[in-house]
Structure 1
């Protein structure tokens, strides 16, 4: 046993204790102690150190401490460590810690032992931060020290500190190149503990594993790959794994299907249009190079085609030697036909991207994709000029069953409902601009394993013609309907000449429709002959079938079915190669369309912004106009109402004084002049009430009813004007956005209020003759004093008459008028508010429309700015799709370079 091992295990005392010694170590060491003292130059430290060990093992820790406190030689640091151990055993942890931390020694072994003891002590005290420091110091001092790494690993795992556990595994894997640590690291990866760490951290350890154990390198690499696949570090992982393979001198001898599959999967994950080209350029060139390197020859076609496709779109980004290697593989390889499901997924990826970017391609694309998926049915496009009778031909052919049609408007994103068609022209016109697929249990269709695709009628619209011609190659055959009455028209020949450019490998034949318009059989035969000659000038293999949608349809069915069978040779199962070729053509067309849509969208945004800004100016102008209208109507209606009041007031000012003056007739010579003033006051109030109820109020109500009708007419004119403005703005917006509806309930409220006021109209009794005016006071006094004398009654009679007839009654009239019009005045004061309520909904709508339009302009300007500032957001995904399409096309061109669908 080495000295260090004796010191660690506290067995230094065995130096003084021979194996054959039978006495107790205390006795043996006691004798040695006594013997040492006999020497002239004696040193008892070594024996004391050994005695301390014996006492320690005997659990006499105080005696052990006493012995070790007196060590002054090279064993002193170990003695201090042992003292700390004794305090630890005694439970005096703080004292033990003080002793341990005070030890300074050049002995690496002692330093590690102290660190481990401190680690245990800190764990017992739950001082986790100190425990971390202690175990890390032990690892730094000597990772090869027995059990240090095992203790550290167990501690980290217990604390679920996977970062430190992973770092330990990585360091030890690199340092020891031990399979055990590679396995531990892989376990951490499989459990997902490593996914939070930057992948570059694993570069060195993977390079180490590669050099030591290729099989383990593969499993750890794949595990890491899978763990990062859905994480934010995925792109960094791809960069890291690329560098690993580029630096590992991997060659074709080591080709591995599983690693190749990882590169393949990653390639298609990254090439989905979500990453910009600048980011892809950092990883794809090396990725496809490594993909090719790890691929066995039978799987090398796809990465080789990917390398050439990427190099074609992004020249000089892949090493020329890799490109040459890919070219050689492609030259020698067998063509790969492709997989329909994979291509459909690619199409759907592109369509989803287009939709998320606000680009409309039309549902005809979706319809055609679904057709191409159906390998049990051939698709016969039925074409023809507008008004050629194309749709009526289809309807007449399929009348034996209920027609089920899936209609897709080429300019709409909404799928049409399943329809049952009759022969009405309105329904034919409704689908004239649509792509419609007819799937029915028709004899003609079922006998020929096909469905009819009714295409939009060809007109003079260049854009629509181009769209039709470019989609024709996706058909399995074309049946072109000609109108027997217009076959000689030059426009039909132009259509056929254009069509010829797009139907290189597609059989084209003709229906000569409306033959019922030709009277004589000889003329009909001649027309068919001439027509066939003309179309064969353009389509040499084409045949013509004479047909009438109006007459003897059932008789023609069998011949028509035979015509289709013999000319198109449809089979009950469409080949995979046929569908793949057409899907590739469709993908190419969609990508080309999307490139042009970018410009169209930008121009559309510019036009929309200009339109909305113009509308905004008009809306603001109209907003001011509406304000003026409200003020004008308020003024007119209030003035009209006020005029009614003025007229009634004038009536009162004229009528009341007259009534009161006529009250002089109530005074007689034999009247009781002591009470005359009271009687007159009562009679005068009665006359006033009667006058108000029978003359004033009816006239007022009639005038106000007329005022309501005039106001209604006035407001109706406003509503009519607002309706016209709504239509104008909605035409500009292209949608029902502006609704300037007024609230005519206001007039009902006015009518109700007028009736209520009329019912409550009237005034309380006026104090007409009982006032304290001087004239009345004198008359009243005179009546009381002189009224009892007959000779004085004539005098009083004359005075009262004179007073009543000459009094102006202005104050009485004013008082009555004021009281009478109180509620009518309140009504007048509320008119401005009521008219505002009448226009309120229109104001709210116009204000909301202005705000919505402002927001639309802001959003469109922001979108336009982003498009102009960041064109790569749109262009880069299309470039990526272009690479993937080229890759697919290059895989097909091998042995079939001239395929029209690959152009």
Structure 2
């Protein structure tokens, strides 16, 4: 044990114990202390230092401190450290901290020990920031100091400070080249802590590990790769990975199974449509080059085809040596066939992308893709020239006369006991009651129990027969390239005519890879077997002149089908080779054709979408102008109706008021006839007042009110006609706008309850109107006062009656009674006037619902214009967000087409 180790473990005192095993250290050191004092020049610091250690070990910390405080030689820094240790043991952490912090020494070991002690003390005091500083100080002084880095690692993990833990692991892995530290680093990365760092941070450590242990390098690189997947720094990681793998030798025979898989996954994720081309075009070429390096030569078809397809779309992006390597691998090595799952995944990606971009891949195309991706089902197009018996042939195979002269393709298959007919349109699948009910452009999916189709897993595609020279527009031409073969039906009486030859030549030009064979139908027309044999041989001879590989099967739809089915199945199996490996490759090729046509449609859809958006904006701006004009016109109409209806009503009440104001005074004047010479003038004013009120009441109820009722009824009818005219106008405008919208968008209905309310209110007013009694002759004007006074004073004198009679009569006949008439009219027409004031609000209510619907339509139209313009702005501002994904889908499609081509061309090339 070195001297410093003794200082650390506080066992320096053992140096005084040589050959003194029988004595206690206290005794030995005491004797040494006395002996040292006898020297002329003595130094007791060493002994005191050792005594302090003994006291410390025996937990006499105060004595230990006393001894160490009196150490004044080169051991003084260690003594101070020990004093701090003693205070720490006594629980006096503040004092210990002060002493530790004030020790000044150049001794590396002591400095580390102090830092470690402070580290422990600060953890105990909860001063973690200081703990961090001291553990990092210890590592900075000497990272090789025993256990210091492991202590730091444990501390960081306990604090769940994985950033510092990971930084420590990277630093120590690089410094020590220790695989153990790389194992720690791998654990942190696998736990997901790497994404806190820039990917370049790990580059140096990875390159160093590559020289140490390739297997661990691959595990670490793979863990980092997975860590950054889906992260914002993913592209930066791929750049870093590219830089790392660029350093690999192209001739390396090392196995990189994990990394090869990650390159493939990364490549597919980059061209998935999420990224713009400008984001990845500087990354993918290097990725492809690295991918080829880590790919097994005999299993590198996927990577090689990816290189070729990228170069096809982005020429000059890849170095010549990478292209040469890819071509060499494609065309000089045997490969496994391309998996159908690749095409299925690509098609699904296309569908999802289209949906995210507010587009729709036709339902019919999705249905076709699902049919073709089922490798257990073989699809054969069955067609022929008109009258050759194609329909009867298929009906005989399913055992029912289900097909007729349909002008739509019918997919006939068997699925157990299922019996159903569905129409596959561009948008949906719907159930059909009869095969002939389909719409134009649809596909008919007919499932029917058929042992022949069930056993052989055939799907027969019945297409419209050929009539005349028109071939290109026949639906057959669309479905032949998607099928596994063509079964052409011939008539045994006129086999293989010139017309049929022309049709078949066109078919072969359109789909040269599709095998064509023939069914010679209506063989029941032959009189005997020799004639039948001759018909078949002659047909074969003529057909083979033009189609040497074609075969002919004689068939009769009228004879027992079951006896012919086995032979027909054997014929189809032998000649179409539907169970060979090549069928799967051809099927993949057909699926890729569907995907290519889908890509083309999506490209066209971008143009159509922009045109549609422009059309939407133009259409709705026109609609908006019309709507605003219509609303303005409606406001004018509403104002006109308010004015017209109100004025008509007012004209009735004004005329009635005018008549009453004119009639009442006259009637009151005529009441002078009730004044007689023999009247009792004492009470005449009371009696006459009553008679006058009765006269007014009689007039108002018996004369004025009936005429008012009649006039108001006429007003109601007139108003109703006006409002009905408005409703008819609104209905006409609704029809106009709905015709523009091409849907029942608008239905403007006014509230005719207003008319019901008016009738009810007017009837209620008319029924309860009353004429209040007026004080006509009991008022306080001078004339009346004198008449009433004279009547009371002179009414009993006979000679005065003549005078009073004359004065009363003269007064009544000459009085104007205007104020009485006005008072009667005002009170009588009070409710009618209030009714008039409510007319404007009522007419507003009548038009409220149409206005609300119009304003709602305006708001919707403005929103439609806004969203369409916003979408147009986005499309014009960044067209690459639409076109880039489609271009990348094109790259992937080309890749799979290269793979199919490679498998076809290299079918017989031995593996190098």
User: CA distance change for structure 1 residues 497 and 332 in 2, over 3 Å: closer, same or farther?
Assistant: closer
User: CA distance change for structure 1 residues 722 and 471 in 2, over 3 Å: closer, same or farther?
Assistant: farther
User: CA distance change for structure 1 residues 444 and 182 in 2, over 3 Å: closer, same or farther?
Assistant: closer
Say whether residues 1:890 and 2:898 are aligned partners. yes
Is the partner of 2:405 in helix, strand or coil? helix
| 1:694 paired residue among 695, 698, 702 | 702
Say whether residues 1:394 and 2:402 are aligned partners. no
| 1:709 paired residue among 711, 714, 717 | 717
Contact 2:599 2:890 in 1 (8 A): yes
Contact 1:477 1:507 in 2 (8 A): yes
Shift of 1:721: 1.9
Say whether residues 1:407 and 2:418 are aligned partners. no
Aligned mates of 2:303, 2:116 — CA distance in 1:
54
Shift of 1:622: 1.9
Q: Which residue of structure 2 lines up, in the alignment, with residue 667 of structure 1?
A: 675
Aligned mates of 1:359, 1:409 — CA distance in 2:
17
Aligned mates of 2:660, 2:810 — CA distance in 1:
23
Say whether residues 1:579 and 2:587 are aligned partners. yes
Matches within 5 A, 1:134-533: 134-249=134-249, 251-334=251-334, 336-374=336-374, 375-376=376-377, 378=379, 380=381, 393-394=405-406, 404-410=420-426, 413=427, 415-421=428-434, 427=437, 431-441=439-449, 473-475=481-483, 502-505=510-513
Say whether residues 1:636 and 2:644 are aligned partners. yes
Is the partner of 2:423 in helix, strand or coil? strand
Normalised to the residue count of structure 1, the TM-score between the two structures is 0.84
Aligned mates of 2:840, 2:572 — CA distance in 1:
81
Shift of 1:325: 0.3
Shift of 1:584: 0.5
**Bigger shift: 730-739 or 867-876?**
730-739
Shift of 1:833: 1.2
User: CA distance change for structure 1 residues 791 and 501 in 2, over 3 Å: closer, same or farther?
Assistant: farther
Shift of 1:729: 2.6
Shift of 1:171: 1.6
Q: Which residue of structure 2 lines up, in the alignment, with residue 771 of structure 1?
A: 779
| 2:877 paired residue among 869, 878, 885 | 869
Aligned mates of 2:462, 2:789 — CA distance in 1:
112
Q: Which residue of structure 2 lines up, in the alignment, with residue 489 of structure 1?
A: none
Residue-by-residue CA offset, 1:365-418 (whole Å, 9 max, x unaligned): 122122223442536488999xxx9996239999xx9984433443xx4x1431
Shift of 1:500: 7.9
Contact 1:112 1:138 in 2 (8 A): yes
User: CA distance change for structure 1 residues 773 and 507 in 2, over 3 Å: closer, same or farther?
Assistant: farther
Contact 1:207 1:248 in 2 (8 A): no
Aligned mates of 1:785, 1:747 — CA distance in 2:
60
Residue-by-residue CA offset, 1:843-864 (whole Å, 9 max, x unaligned): 2222222222222222222211
Aligned mates of 2:721, 2:451 — CA distance in 1:
67
User: CA distance change for structure 1 residues 655 and 407 in 2, over 3 Å: closer, same or farther?
Assistant: farther
Aligned mates of 1:150, 1:308 — CA distance in 2:
50
Shift of 1:726: 2.4
Residue-by-residue CA offset, 1:747-785 (whole Å, 9 max, x unaligned): 122112112211221232111222223332233223223
Matches within 5 A, 1:100-115: 100-115=100-115
Say whether residues 1:611 and 2:619 are aligned partners. yes
- Show structure 1 runs of 5+ residues with no match: 459-463, 482-491, 512-531, 544-553
User: CA distance change for structure 1 residues 508 and 33 in 2, over 3 Å: closer, same or farther?
Assistant: closer
Count how many residue pairs are aligned between Structure 1 and Structure 2. 840
Aligned mates of 1:770, 1:322 — CA distance in 2:
125
Is the partner of 1:393 in helix, strand or coil? coil
Aligned mates of 2:97, 2:14 — CA distance in 1:
28
Aligned mates of 1:384, 1:856 — CA distance in 2:
52
Matches within 5 A, 1:2-21: 2-21=2-21
Shift of 1:40: 3.5
Q: Which residue of structure 1 lines up, in the alignment, with residue 832 of structure 2?
A: 824
Aligned-residue CA RMSD (Å): 4.1
Contact 1:436 1:455 in 2 (8 A): no
Contact 1:584 1:889 in 2 (8 A): yes
**Bigger shift: 34-43 or 861-870?**
34-43
**Bigger shift: 35-44 or 146-155?**
35-44
Aligned mates of 2:891, 2:420 — CA distance in 1:
40
Contact 1:763 1:819 in 2 (8 A): yes
Aligned mates of 1:656, 1:452 — CA distance in 2:
102
